[in-house]
Amino acid sequence: MSVLPLCLEPHPALRSKARRVDLFTNDLRRLARDLTDTMYAHRGIGLAAPQVGQNLQVFVANPSQQRGREVVVVNPVLGECRGHVAITEGCLSLPDIWERVRRASDVRLSGQDVFGKSVVIDAEGLLAIVLQHEFDHLQGQLFIDRLPWFRRFDFHARHLFRNVSIRRAKP
């Protein structure tokens, strides 16, 4: 079991578009296992490779948090999205931040498993939300990017500038 260190916002790994996986090797399967271990160690329900500094299109999701029921998707493509839902989301790369985000309520995601076999997932409920959240990570997007501009502004004011203090220049 390997729990990998997490990249936290504003880490640059979170902001680049992840590369497609071409080789379905033991290294890829080890990365998928490590992502799973890291997700459980932090009590997350999803984790994408860029969050551990790996620029690859791989993520793991498991809204149930029951070991063995995780879904690992490689090279995902988001297909048909239907309906709307707003739910409060968090992210292991943005600790202690929770914001309400609008998403599709039903999605179809296709991709591959860790052996390169095609998979299609039709999801609703929390799994649909997690799949969209993790898919965004592979595009270099975070859930805060999906907030309306005024809430993004408020978010930056509250969270990102909180450690900035203005000091008078020394005479």
The yes-or-no answer on residue 134 being catalytic is yes
Q: Which residues pair with 56 in a beta bridge?
A: 19
Phi/psi for 163 (5° steps) reads -95, 5
| 97/11 Cα distance (integer angstroms) | 16
CB closer to Zn ion out of 11 and 25: 11
In the complex, residue closest to Zn ion by CB = 91
Q: Of 137, 142, 146, whose CA–CA distance to 49 is shortest? A: 137
CB-based contact 52:34 (threshold 8 Å): yes
Residue 61 touching Zn ion (CB under 5 A) = no
CB closer to Zn ion out of 83 and 95: 95
Site for Zn ion in 70-129 (CB under 5 A): 91
CB closer to Zn ion out of 18 and 91: 91
Q: Which residues of this protein are in contact with Zn ion, per CB under 5 A?
A: 91
Q: Give the residue numbers marked as catalytic.
A: 134
